[in-house]
């Protein structure tokens, strides 16, 4: 790595990003401000089934939506819980970001990169939106 490359930081975050909303945009915006490149891992439909989640939008639509956001530089599939170390190494990640509802759950990644838990946007979540739509 040369001196110019070492000044750039790559950030990684993950999520399902179903019913994309303001809270998602805020965490992506804040994550993007911490580095020069933001990579987003998006849970695949198969992985969501394993997690017991049902999505309104299929994986490809969620991926396309994220790719259209100016803060996002690259979208990768999240197929399983254990791929994070490989993704960090393969993408030269400097900073791993998750919402503070995951506080402490990814601390084992600190041996590979910096881990930061960002505060969630109050008053909005995909779960809340789904419950409104179901009413």
**Looking at 9, 46, 53, 67, which residue is catalytic?**
53
Cα end-to-end span (Å), the chain:
54
Nearest to 117 by CA among 27, 17, 10, 26: 27
d(CA 20, CA 122) in angstroms, rounded, equals: 15
Q: Taking a C-beta distance cutoff of 8 angstroms, is the pair 15, 24 a contact? A: yes
**Looking at 46, 51, 67, 128, which residue is catalytic?**
51
User: Among this protein's residues, is 122 annotated catalytic?
Assistant: no
User: Among this protein's residues, is 53 annotated catalytic?
Assistant: yes
Catalytic residues, by residue number, are 51, 53
């Amino acid at each position: 790595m040369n001196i110019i490359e070492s000044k750039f930081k790559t950030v990684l975050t993950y999520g399902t990003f179903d019913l994309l909303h303001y809270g998602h945009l805020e965490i992506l915006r804040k994550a993007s401000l911490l580095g020069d490149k933001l990579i987003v891992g998006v849970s695949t439909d198969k992985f969501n089934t394993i997690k017991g989640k049902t999505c309104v939008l299929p994986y490809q639509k969620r991926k396309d939506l994220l790719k259209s956001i100016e803060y996002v530089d690259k979208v990768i599939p999240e197929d399983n819980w254990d791929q994070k170390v490989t993704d960090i190494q393969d993408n030269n990640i400097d900073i791993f970001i998750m919402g503070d509802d995951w506080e402490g759950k990814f601390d084992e990644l600190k041996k590979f990169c910096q881990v930061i838990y960002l505060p969630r946007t109050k008053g909005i979540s995909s779960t809340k939106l789904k419950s409104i739509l179901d009413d």
